[in-house]
Structure 1
Amino acid sequence: MSFCLRLRGAARLVLLLLVGLLALAGPARATHIVGGEMELVHNSGDSYTLQLNLYFDAVHGSASALDADLTASIFDKANNQRMANVVLPLTSNTFVNYTNPACADATLSTRKLVYSKAITLAAGTYNNLLGYYVAVERCCRNNSISNIVGPGNAAQAFYLEFPAVVRRGAPFYDSTPRIFPPLADYACRGELFYYDFGGQDADGDSLVYDLVTPLNGHANTNTPKPAAAEPAPYAPITWNAGLGTLNQILGAPTLSINRATGRLTVRPTDLGLFVFGVRCSEYRRGEKIGEARRDFQLMVINCPTNSKPSLALLPAPTGSVRYRPGRDTLKLVPGSNHCVRLRFTDPDLNSRLTLSLSPVNFSGLLPSFSTAFSGTVHGVGMPDTLTATLCFPECLNTRGKVFLLDVVVGDDGCSLPRRDTVRVAFTAVPPPNSPPLLTSTAGPALPLRARIGDLISFDLTGTDPDNDPVQLEMTGVGFSPLGLGATLSQSAASPGQRGRFTWRVDCRAVGPDSVFTFQFAAATQPCNGQQAATLSVPVVVRYSNRPPTLASDLPALQPGQDLPLVELPLGRQYTAHFTGFDPDRDGLTLLATGNTGAGNEGVDLGSVGMRFDARNGAGAASGTFQWDVSCAAANLHRDLVVTFQLIDATCRPLPQQQQVRLRVHSPDTVAVKLYNIITPNNDRQNDEFRLPELPPNFCDSQFIGVKIFSRWGQQVFESADRDFRWPGQGSSGIYYYYITYTDGRRFRGWLEVKP
């Protein structure tokens, strides 16, 4: 949408100097704004970019039009409530290109100023179903405009409508149309002028175009740049007498726009500078969701007479009948001449002519020019006519339909080229093609049968009778061959293409469906139409697994037990033997793991005096478990559960296991007897206080000491000897004792001393 004015030599230099002088000049009453439009582009989430494209006269424009920023105002359509004022900084300043740079006129040059800023449209704020509009107001227009009243005092209101960003509780994202390639060309009085004002919509919404009266708004010569736009309505400009929305530029025909394509057309009858307005309405699922408006100007000048070029088809080199457009149909069949000759000329001197092609009712392959398709006529040493050869591809296939192709010759006349068109009707049949062939060494005895671990491999060969390039392809019916580890390598062969299929069958092939059908194809692309020969190779994967057996000399399970129990005192050793067997000769592995049975807390067997030595192998395994009963196990204060597991190395193992409960036999604390009377009278009977039935020292349960207190709390005795003896304090009475062990056990009692 940007352009650069192509001027040569002094004209371009004068223009650049003039633009520089204007930039230094002081404000003027007329800014000579050519026109403009607004865009709203969705970035992501609630982030958008608001943009104003402003066009102004680079030749006569005032420096005051080169604003560093402009303010856009957003309003609610339902109530004209102001939602936000957005300051848009100037982000780009470029020239607009002529369609034909050679037609540049030093009196007509347009700049494109882009003002843009990223904004946020929050769903909680911009949710009114009637939508919103944005406006920027700026004064003033060109003094020399011919079709409106008081153009030098007329302002502009740039206007855009957009929908709510949320509908029915869901995000509603929309980018407004990026419309209208900007217009730099002038029109010639009495000549047909056409220009594509069509736009693009990133969301695929439908766009409809119509002519509208440009908006004037509220800006004026006293306030050319308001601090913010006023809310709608915006007053329109005032047309000169006899003009209106539907005849903004007089002509035969008058200015019009194609509703669907946005193509402008006019054959102007008057000279001058004419303003006009176009609206692009945006529809989604039949509902209008927004619109964008553009004001612009068209200059009409007197141009030198430019005659229309002409184009004709010549007889084929071997034929004598000329092709008659609109009456004949070219029939392109295999073996026939696929080329036609063209003659093109122009009455004007030094005309530069160019041929182009435009398909009417088809897409795809197009003919090509085998000789020059452009040139100059009537120049010095140049012929009056030019010829070219147009050749249709042999692969072109109209499938029985008549295709229409416009061959267009255009000159380099100003302001727009004049053209002549010849419509060529043709049918085409591509050359015959035989399908490819595919063979394999997989053998006639299908399906192939395999077990886990087998290697399947065979060769495939693809050939083509027409020597078309062949490509081998592999797919699976309901599965991915690569996902199973199957590969197809290929290389060029003479003739055709050769491939090698390889599959080492592994556990990925074990499933509810043991039949895998591989499909192979030898494909060619004659004339861009695929042909293929296919071949299916089913493979049946056999898999079965019988469970292994695990035997041992662990004790039998007794009534009332959940697991077999081995209970031994400190210092003893326990040994158990295990044997495993697998009828399928699968590899066997014996494992032993331990836990305390409380929350399945794991225990390292070696840390508690246990070890397990396993001898694993294919089809058989054996192991020996040994336990040296020590305090390491007793200090856990829980039984140990050891699990012995036999695992078969196959795709779907059926492991076997046995468990045993191991317990360290410890002293019975229930048998503890606490005495509570002594008679220290030297009769050698019950003369001393002692507790021979206290629990013995056992692993981490060690005697710490005993303390005896009087009834008044005074300590009268203390000993760290488990076999302590206390003969009394020499006086009768009640005493109290306190005994502690390292594992936290406590024994308390009272003692009466009698004389």
Structure 2
Amino acid sequence: MKNRLILSFVLLLCILQARATHIVGGQLFITENKNSAYNYKIGLTMYFDALNGNPGAEDDVVYIYVFRKRDNASVGYVSAPKIERKNVTYTNPQCGISLTETIMITYASDVLLESSVFNDPGGYYMVWDRCCRNAAITNIKSPGTAGSLFYLEFPPIVKNSTSFSNSSPVFPAIQGDYACVNSPFFFNFGGTDADGDSLAYRLMTPLQGYSTQDRPSVQAIGSSSYPTLTWIDGITNANIIPGPQPLTVDAKTGMLSVTPGNLGLYVFAVQVDEFRNGVKIGTLTRDFQLKVVDCPKMSPPKILFKPKGSSTFYNSNQIITVKDGDPNCFEVMVTDPTINDLIKIQGHAINQTNDYFSLFPVEYATTVANDTMRVQVCLDECFITYDNRPIRIELIAQDQSCPIPLMDTLVIYIRRESSGNNAPVVTTSLQTDYVHVVAGTAVSFTVFGKDSDTDSLSLSGAGENFTLSSKSMIFKTVSGKTSVQSGFSWVPPCNALEGDTIKVDFTAEDLRCAGSGLKTSKTIYFIVDQSPNHPPAITTSLVQADVSYILGASGGITFQVKAIDPDTNTILLSASGRGFQLNALGITFENKTGTGQLISDFTWFPDCAIMNGDTSHSFTVDFVARDKSCTASLDTISVTISLSDLEAKSEIDLPNVITPNGDGKNDCLILDELPTGSCNDQFKDVTIFNRWGKQIYYSRDKTKNWCPNDISGGYYYYVIKYTKSTYKGGLTVLK
């Protein structure tokens, strides 16, 4: 059902009423659907007895009911259709003939769980309630009328207003194996968690629910304590399957183990609790049944090894030494007392990445009692013990016994001399292995790896009891053939303590035989010394720190600022205005970073807009030279710039006669010599009138002189206006 979880309950009176006899077990599940409109999948995995079950009891749809855990209030139900049906496999398929046949049926539906509904801090639970179980179950009372209830708790999807994602554990398909009376049996009931949550397992009494033989499929109800099955006399959770070793479960792995003492069909349940950061967030129950039968007596194979020159068989306290020039192969024997049994041989190295050995043959079929096969174990070129530590190999002989194979294991310790493969060497560009460093000062060098056999090799670095990245050390692992190199760099942090010695190991590993351990390391010792830091100094090219400037003066204000640091630390040269931004006033100054010496130019062309109506104004600029050492030393110099306005004149000086005769003398009225004016009384325009008051000249540009070449001589008047002042006068033009 792809829909919201149905929030209204409907009496499901028309559900199939056939008794689901021979329900073997199963569990519920809830899985997050990432990036989907239907954010969760809810379903049921159910195991059904295909030999004795009622085919009519196999539902096409199951109804899973959801309740709020705090008060058992109903939240809704999910209608989950059948999406998969398949036979359960066996560890050894030929062992399952006519004894058991189990079908795994999966029901599931995608649903939308809304955060406005599923936000209760106490969480929720879901149940599936159905009758009935196998009538042949040995360890409970009235098994044929006992119902099955599967249970699963899950957390809210929102916690503290934050989305909380979770999926229930995932379990591999249960195998349909049976156990043999008085024989050890192991059964993996463990799962994995997609969210990385930890899982804990414990045996429990299976839940029965409220379904009955007369009402095999009922509408589930919420409860804090569902009914459980009733054990027969003498059975408890401590001996659900009684015997020399009653049924137990590993609390961490979920591995079941039992040595049953009696024939029968035994039902059991395991509670799986889900923890995140030490807090329980979910739980579910898993039911199943285990059949215990009387099996033919089977004996395991036996694997033996007699070292060359020895009259006795090998035991694990010995170390076999293979010298250079010795044969690469040796022989082990495998015997089996059973006729017509298939024996398979496998082996692997325990304390080495690769096996570097082979077996031949790897299987054989016995034809007589105690038949014997001789197996060749051949060591490859890379099966070498470089550090004198023996390699541990494990050889396993396994037969085809039912219900699970029987096996024998032989562990052999082998020390094999080198075949001439030489270890690589490590060198550095340093003069010594001891490097004196100071906090804040960079250190760098090159590390080299070389292999005299021209093998491929890798070069890596590692701190002693720390990672390089944790101390901001930079060294890239490299690989190559014959020779490789990589650069190391580090700026010791300010918290590096004087007198500390920090060790870094650089390792070159031979890659001819992966995992062989043939490597060489060189240790570099970094000794932290006291930092001899000197503070930077800052100067300017000014004669004095105070600058006076009259607005309108040519050239503007320019000078240089210099920062000097005798150390190798990085220094920063910067400037800032007191109460103003430099660029807002049109000041140009570039902040600079570098080492040794930094120079930057200060440039400013102030204008009247800066004065804001005042006749004078002062601006102070602070220049700072700061080093980036651990002590963060600095030097500061301040420059105060005083701006003043031009003093306005009370009168102007113009000639009263001009003679425009072309002789170059007194030909024009010189206007560009008029006063510039101040910020508050600036030049506006000049107007010239004839004697009758007619305007004959007008200009707003005082740089343009008046040269009356095209007018007649006579007496003329002028009016010169400033922002606040007006000057009037007369002059005679003689021609």
Please state which band the TM-score falls in when normalised by the shorter chain.
0.5 to 0.7
**Counterpart for residue 268 of structure 2:** 277
Return closer, same or farther for 1:447/1:544 CA change in 2, 3 Å cut-off: farther
Q: Is the 8 A contact 1:436 1:522 kept in 2?
A: no
1:708 counterpart residue number: none
Note the alpha carbon deviations across 1:69-92, whole angstroms, 9 max, x for none. Answer: 422343647xx6336344263475
Q: Conserved in 2, the CA contact under 8 Å of 1:310 and 1:345?
A: yes
In structure 1, C-alpha distance between the alignment counterparts of 2:24 and 2:151, rounded to whole Å: 15
Question: What does residue 414 of structure 1 align with?
Answer: 402
Q: Give the drift of 1:110.
A: 1.6
Query: Residue in 2 aligned with 1:12?
Result: none
Distance 2:231 2:441 in 1: 89
Deviation at 1:441, TM superposition (A): 5.0
Report the equivalent of 2:299.
308
Measured against aligned partners, the alpha-carbon deviations of 1:356-398 in whole angstroms (never above 9, x if no partner) come to 4699xx8666867622363231469x99432324468533989
Matches within 5 A, 1:31-110: 31-39=21-29, 52-58=44-50, 60-74=53-67, 76=69, 81-82=72-73, 84-87=75-78, 89-90=80-81, 92-95=83-86, 96-105=88-97, 108-110=101-103
CA distance in 2, matches of 1:665, 1:641: 15
Q: Assess, with a 3 A threshold, how the Cα gap between structure 1 residues 50 and 289 changes in structure 2: closer, same or farther.
A: same
Match of 2:375 among 388, 392, 396: 388
Q: Distance in 2 between matches of 1:48 and 1:299?
A: 36
1:523 aligns with 2:523: no
Provide the residue aligned with 2:360 in structure 1.
Answer: 372
Answer whether contact 1:581 1:621 (CA < 8 A) is retained: yes
Cα distance in structure 2, aligned partners of 1:217 and 1:411: 43
Question: Shift of residue 108 of structure 1?
Answer: 0.8
Q: 1:217 to 1:440 in 2, by over 3 A?
A: closer
Instruction: Map 1:704-719; keep pairs closer than 5 Å.
Output: none
For 1:414, the aligned partner's letter is C
1:225 and 2:217 aligned: yes
User: For residues 273 and 560 of structure 2, what CA distance do their matches in structure 1 show?
Assistant: 78
Give the TM-score, by structure 2 length.
Answer: 0.60
Matched, 1:551 2:542: yes
Counterparts in 2 of 1:149-298, with a 5 A limit? 150-160=142-152, 182-187=174-179, 193-199=185-191, 205=198, 207-210=200-203, 212=205, 214-238=206-230, 253=244, 256-258=247-249, 260=251, 262-267=255-260, 269-270=262-263, 274-280=265-271, 282=273, 292-298=284-290
- Which of these residues, 128, 133, 139, is aligned with residue 131 of structure 2? 139
Cα separation, 1, equivalents of 2:341 and 2:140: 38
Deviation at 1:171, TM superposition (A): 12
The one-letter code sitting in structure 2 at the alignment partner of 1:416 is I
One of 532, 556, 563 as aligned partner of 2:521:
532
Which of 329, 340, 344 is 1:354 aligned to?
Answer: 344
Q: Distance in 2 between matches of 1:466 and 1:574?
A: 78
CA contact (8 A) 1:307 1:346 kept: no
Alignment root-mean-square deviation, CA: 6.4
**Which whole-Å CA distance do the structure 2 matches of 1:646 and 1:447 have between them?**
37
The answer on whether the counterparts of 1:472 and 1:521 sit within 8 Å (CA) in structure 2 is no
Kindly report which structure 2 residues correspond to 1:562-581, keeping only aligned pairs within 5 A, or say none.
566=549, 573-575=553-555, 578=558, 580=560
For 1:56 and 1:39, how far apart are their aligned partners in 2? Answer: 18
Given the superposition, is the C-alpha separation of residues 372 and 51 from structure 1 closer, same or farther in structure 2, using an over 3 Å criterion?
farther
Distance 1:633 1:581, change over 3 A: closer
Name the aligned partner's letter for residue 413 of structure 1. Answer: S
Q: How far did 1:35 drift?
A: 1.1
- C-alpha deviation, 1:622, in angstroms: 8.2
| Cα distance change of structure 1 residues 186 and 228 upon mapping to structure 2, 3 Å threshold | same
CA distance in 1, matches of 2:493, 2:174: 66
Change (3 A) 1:124 1:574: same
Contact 1:489 1:500 in 2 (8 A): yes
Q: Which amino acid aligns with 1:376?
A: Y
Whether the 8 Å CA contact 1:31–1:63 is kept in 2: the answer is no
State the one-letter code of the partner of 1:523.
T
Question: Do the aligned partners of residues 541 and 471 (structure 1) sit closer, same or farther apart at CA in structure 2, a change above 3 Å counting?
Answer: farther
CA contact (8 A) 1:474 1:519 kept: no
Other-structure match for 1:722: none
SS where residue 547 of structure 1 aligns? strand
Distance 1:482 1:302 in 2: 62
Q: Give the total of aligned pairs.
A: 603
Q: Call closer, same or farther: CA 1:423–1:120 in 2, change over 3 Å.
A: farther
Aligned residues of 1:641 and 1:662 also touching (Cα < 8 A): yes
1:533 is paired with a residue of what secondary structure?
strand
Q: Which amino acid aligns with 2:102?
A: S
The answer (yes or no) to whether the contact 1:472–1:522 under 8 Å persists in 2 is yes
For the Cα contact (< 8 Å) 2:28–2:43, is it kept in 1? Answer: yes
Match of 1:658 in 2: 639
In the alignment, is the contact (CA less than 8 A) between 1:592 and 1:643 conserved in 2? no
Indicate the residue corresponding to 2:653 in structure 1. none
1:182, distance to aligned residue in structure 2 (A): 1.8
Match of 1:341 in 2: 331
> Residue 29 of structure 1: which of 19, 34, 42 is its match?
19
Per-residue CA shift, 1:641-699, capped at 9, x if unaligned?
56788898998996755343334458799xxxxxxxxxxxxxxxxxxxxxxxxx99956
In the alignment, the residues of structure 1 paired with residue 563 and residue 250 of structure 2 have an alpha-carbon distance, to the nearest angstrom, of 83
Q: Is the 8 A contact 2:460 2:478 kept in 1?
A: no
8 A Cα contact 1:73 1:84, kept in partner: yes
List per-residue Cα deviations over 1:203-247 (Å, max 9, x = no partner). 6657353353x3322112443222223525433345567766666
Percent identity reads: 21
Aligned residue identity for 2:217: K
Compute the displacement of 1:156 (Å): 0.9
SS of residue matched to 1:395 = coil
Q: Structure 1, residues 82-105: CA drift from partner, whole Å, max 9, x if none? A: 363442634752433222234343
**Other-structure match for 2:731:** none
3-state SS of paired residue (2:360): coil
User: Per-residue deviation at 1:533?
Assistant: 1.6
Cα distance per residue 1:419-446 (max 9 Å; x no partner): 1424547586986999865445544799
| C-alpha distance 474-543 of structure 1, shift in aligned 2 (>3 A) | farther
| SS in structure 2 at match of 1:279 | strand
Point out where structure 1 has 5 or more consecutive residues left out of the alignment: 1-24, 557-563, 613-617, 670-694, 703-742, 744-755
Could you give the per-residue CA deviations for residues 382-418 of structure 1, whole angstroms, max 9, x where no partner exists? 9943232446853398969x98x8744222233322x
Change (3 A) 1:642 1:228: same
